[in-house]
Amino acid sequence: MLRIGCHLSSSKGFLAMGREAVKIGANTFQFFTRNPRGGKAKELDLADVGAYLEFAKEHGIAQILAHAPYTLNACAKDEGLRRFAYETMCDDLQRLSHIPGSMYNFHPGSHVKQGVEIGIAYISEMLNRINAHGYDTMILLETMAGKGSEMGRNFEELRAIIDRVEDTQRLGVCLDTCHVFDGGYDIVDDLDGVLGEFDKVIGLVRLKAVHINDSKNPLGSRKDRHEKIGEGEIGLDAFARIVTHPRLRDLPFYLETPNELAGYQKEIMLLRALAEQPV
Ligand code: FE
Ligand code: FE
Ligand code: ZN
């Protein structure tokens, strides 16, 4: 059974997200740990978390994906901003320890004219400091489209970060289909080739989740504009190959397409149908 869900608003708490997920046919979901623009997170409501865990067990929601605020920049030039990224992630991971099996995805950051080398050094340094706390949540680096000075624009950059982290037991990668396509990886005409490249450079054992989004822009455009499934440049045939690929089909998939709940429900049904089609 395909594990698929979408990004949900966390404003009403965990149980509400669980109910919403089930309502639209999802068996997993993604959420922001706090306002995506940053800022303080609400106090974690342990009763809500407990009720959610009960509900999740009943409804077969095994694993969920938390997304760090996208404004965090672990490789900012300003030391205060780097510290803020570190402290926010520590606080998020502390909270996530109440939700066993969850994973935590973050954007590596933007080096903003400091250069890729400095970016790699700061990000890996932060991950080493985070690891010192011994959080049990799997942390995922997201593959990025490479807009501006965004880090993680190719597999090599992610590999270079991972190489500098001492304990990589709880470090993985989340592949965003829109981002890698925008980054020049041709998942439409050469999915096998791209996954082979991922395996060679990073290792497919590190791949823990997929953000499943179509792209408004063509291959290599580095724009990062998500489109509804089948309505963009990636297209439905490619998504059929993605959800059935032996190296991908057992991973959890998360929609971050421009949709309301009803639209997500349709896409989940569509992708489930594609996944069950004989290839
Ligand atoms: Fe993201
Ligand atoms: Fe994404
Ligand atoms: Zn994106």
Phi first, then psi: give them for residue 229, nearest 5 degrees.
-60, 125
Q: Partners of 209 in the beta sheet?
A: 174
- What is residue 62's predicted lDDT score, i.e. its pLDDT? 87
- What is residue 279's predicted lDDT score, i.e. its pLDDT? 60
Query: Can you tell me the mean pLDDT for 243-269?
Result: 98
Would you name the residues annotated as active-site residues?
37, 67, 70, 107, 142, 176, 179, 211, 224, 226, 256
| pLDDT tens digits, one per residue of 253-262 | 999 999 999 9
Would you give the distance in Å from CA 104 to the centre of its chain? 8
| pLDDT tens digits, one per residue of 15-47 | 999 999 999 999 999 999 998 787 788 889 999
Q: CA 230, CA 271: separation in Å to the nearest integer?
A: 10
User: Mean pLDDT, the chain, as a whole number?
Assistant: 97
| pLDDT tens digits, one per residue of 62-84 | 899 999 999 999 999 999 999 99
- What is residue 196's predicted lDDT score, i.e. its pLDDT? 98
Three-state DSSP state, 32? strand
Residue 121 · residue 153 · CB < 8 Å: no
Q: What is the CA(58)–ligand 3 centre distance, in A?
A: 32
| pLDDT tens digits, one per residue of 178-203 | 999 999 999 999 999 999 999 999 99
- What is residue 36's predicted lDDT score, i.e. its pLDDT? 79
- What is residue 25's predicted lDDT score, i.e. its pLDDT? 98
Q: Per-residue pLDDT for 56 more than 70?
A: yes
Phi first, then psi: give them for residue 28, nearest 5 degrees.
-160, 170
Q: Per-residue pLDDT for 124 more than 70?
A: yes
Within 8 A by CB and 6+ apart from 149, the residues are 110, 111, 112, 113, 119
Give the number of the ligand closest to the Cα of residue 177.
2
Q: What is the CA(242)–ligand 1 centre distance, in A?
A: 19
| pLDDT tens digits, one per residue of 134-144 | 999 999 999 99
Percent of the chain with pLDDT over 90: 95
Residue 143 · residue 108 · CB < 8 Å: no
Query: Can you tell me the mean pLDDT for 96-108?
Result: 97
Query: Can you tell me the mean pLDDT for 266-278?
Result: 94
Give the number of the ligand closest to the Cα of residue 224.
3
Give the number of the ligand closest to the Cα of residue 176.
2
Query: Can you tell me the mean pLDDT for 207-232?
Result: 98
Q: What is the CA(225)–ligand 3 centre distance, in A?
A: 6
Dihedral of CA atoms 125, 202, 176, 218 in degrees, nearest 10, equals: 120
Q: What is the CA(137)–ligand 3 centre distance, in A?
A: 23
Q: What is the CA(274)–ligand 1 centre distance, in A?
A: 24
Q: CA 121, CA 102: separation in Å to the nearest integer?
A: 27
Q: Per-residue pLDDT for 278 more than 80?
A: no
| pLDDT tens digits, one per residue of 227-240 | 999 999 999 999 99
Give the number of the ligand closest to the Cα of residue 36.
1
Q: What is the CA(175)–ligand 2 centre distance, in A?
A: 8
Residue 252 φ/ψ region, left for φ over 0, alpha for ψ in the -120 to 50 degree band, beta for the rest: beta
Predicted model pTM? 0.97
Query: Can you tell me the mean pLDDT for 224-229?
Result: 98
